[in-house]
Amino acid sequence: MRKIFFTLISFVGLAALVGCGGSSSVHTPVPSGPSTGNNAGFSNSSLAGNYVFSVSGFNSNSNYSFAAVGVFTSDGAGNITSGTRDTVNDNGGQTLSEPITGTYSVNQDGRGQVVLNGSSGQVIYRFVMQSPGSAKLFQISNTSDATGRILGVPAVTPALVSAAPYIVRFDGEDTHKNPYGAIGALTLNGTVAGTIDENDAGTFNAQLAATGMTTTTGPSGRGTMSFTTSTGTHNFIFYPVTSSHFELVSTDKNFFLYGYGDQQTSTIAATPAAFAGDQVLNISGYTSNGAIVETGRLTLDGAGNLTNTVEDYNEAGLFFPSVAFSGNYTVGTNGRWTANLVYSSSTMGVVGWQVSTSQSIVLTTGSSVANYSVLETGTLSAQTINLTTASVTGNYAEDLSGFLVGSGNVESSGNFLADGVGNLSGTIDSQTPFAINTDIAQTGLYSVLANGRAAGSIGGVPVVLYTANANTVYMISSDPNRIYQGRLEKQ
């Protein structure tokens, strides 16, 4: 299972940076920052202030998975004046509370580059800004594959609040380096209390009671959290982005985890009738056959049934287009819901926790097929249907990641201008198993049909598009050899 997990770690979760003990970027000299591209109104001043960053990846040279989370301050003129990062890997290596500085540049189309320097080494990232408060990134390195994000922090350091639980997601590996995923709801007010659903290498444990504690955050917002369930104790370092969102990484040397938490809103759907509407499902992970990515759409009919369903998925290099399924769902007063997705020859169980009526974090619970394991995590997002191609227009940040069957991981980010009639034009940066590519002009095609599903392309990669709304379009590659997922996000 660990071999399968290696191929997934760059895109099933979020958190990692420099791998402890020598996984710094190997790219000399430092490349010039992005240039050319569409004018979306960005510049160095677009990245100014305090930012939390989190990335996750795999170092092929040292053969380990790694994760990190941290914070940096940028001056709006190209300098990272200060920061802190915490880095762990699945061999037990850790570099915690490491001071960092660096440089950065932001191009007019929102693409940028950041160079972070610390005692453990230098790391270089390419990124694309969706807004001055949000960017997607990937690491430039000849030996490490990593993806993640940068999130803006208010001028006043935020503190976590206790008014409502945080819906949390954890991805990583268990003590035997098998893949692990968990979601749940935790109340944080100095003490920790709540419920965790976990899938450990295909074994599902439902509604585990969790208790623990948090520490007071320091000047940068950095704090610690721990909780215990019947299956073990987990310890984390976290960084608040706002009072309603944080990023974290585990400090347990024999249980490698990373993730995030979003505070649950006061309005959630507590009955099947209230938990209704059109949704886009976007999940990834592994099965007994290998890596899997799934993107699709469904309607929660308000009576406990899944209707108008369709999805596309790639399992271990076999692509299955336009797959219909049926199913049913239930929902509790705390926002926890369960569903069964019924296919022609199998049923897959899913559990979700509502962050709000429009967003849930999702974990698979198992399959009806004997001796067939499935572990996937992801999201369920509200969908606006009956849009048209003209609804998607303007500049969009692009990110697409996964791996080439038989080769290795691939990451890309970029900017595309959608013209409202189905054409994309822009510039991307990418890393493949064979090369690091920067400032590559690309074109693409898109369309928006009534249910949101349509065929398209990003550069030379054929994709199926699922439009959630005019600002967000999810993508999955329809090339069997490209196990890719990603999205276009309006800038």
The pLDDT assigned to 244 comes to 94
d(CA 18, CA 146): 9
Instruction: Name residue 390's amino acid.
Output: A
Domain end, chosen from 123, 153, 183, is at 153
Distance of CA 322 to the CA centre of its chain: 24
Residues 6+ apart with CB under 8 A from 121: 18, 22, 23, 24, 25
The answer as to whether 133 is a domain residue is yes
What pLDDT score was predicted for residue 10? Answer: 35
**Does residue 198 sit in the same domain as residue 295?**
no
Which of left, alpha, beta for 262 (phi over 0: left; psi -120 to 50: alpha)? Answer: beta
Domain containing residue 440: CATH number = 2.40.128
Angstrom distance (rounded) from CA 114 to CA 46: 13
Instruction: Establish if 161 belongs to a structural domain.
Output: no
Q: In the prediction, which pLDDT does 27 show?
A: 54
Same-domain check for residues 143 and 52: yes
3-state secondary structure of 43: coil
Q: Does residue 285 lie in a domain region?
A: yes
Q: How much is the pLDDT for 8?
A: 39
How much is the pLDDT for 6? 34
> Is there a domain that residue 270 lies in?
no
Of 186, 207, 171, residue with least CA distance to 375: 171
Residue 376 sits in the same domain as residue 457: no
Same domain membership, residue 95 and residue 22? yes
Q: Which residues contact 73 (CB under 8 A, 6 or more apart)?
A: 49, 50, 51, 80, 81, 82, 83
Domain of residue 26, residue span:
2-153
Query: How many independent structural domains does the chain possess?
Result: 4
Domain boundary among 352, 382, 412: 382
Judge contact between 116 and 127, C-beta under 8 A. Answer: no
Length of the chain counted residue by residue:
491
Looking at residue 208, what is its pLDDT?
98
Residue 134 domain flag: yes
To which H or E segment does residue 5 belong? helix 2-8
Residues 308 and 255 in one domain: no
> Rounded distance, CA 383 to CA 278, Å?
5
Residue 5, CA distances (Å) to 153, 348, 378, 407 in order: 32, 20, 16, 15
Mark whether 147 and 6 lie in a shared domain.
Answer: yes
319 & 342 share domain: yes
Is residue 286 domain-shared with residue 258, that is, in the same domain?
no
Domain co-membership, 11 together with 114: yes
Is residue 48 packed enough to be buried (19+ CB in 10 Å), middle (13-18) or exposed (0-12)?
middle
Residues 344 and 364 occupy one common structural domain: yes
Same domain, 17 and 145: yes
Q: Is residue 158 part of a domain?
A: no
Last residue of a domain, one of 351, 382, 413: 382
Contact 235, 226 (CB under 8 A): yes
Nearest to 466 by CA among 228, 249, 283: 283
Question: Are residues 128 and 35 part of one domain?
Answer: yes
Residue 144 pLDDT: 84
Q: Establish if 268 belongs to a structural domain.
A: no
pLDDT < 50 positions in the chain: 1-23
In sequence order, the β-bridge partners of residue 152 are 51
106 within 8 A of 41, measured Cβ to Cβ: no
Position 57 in a domain: yes
Summarize pLDDT for 374-401 with one digit per residue, the tens.
999 999 999 999 999 999 999 999 999 9
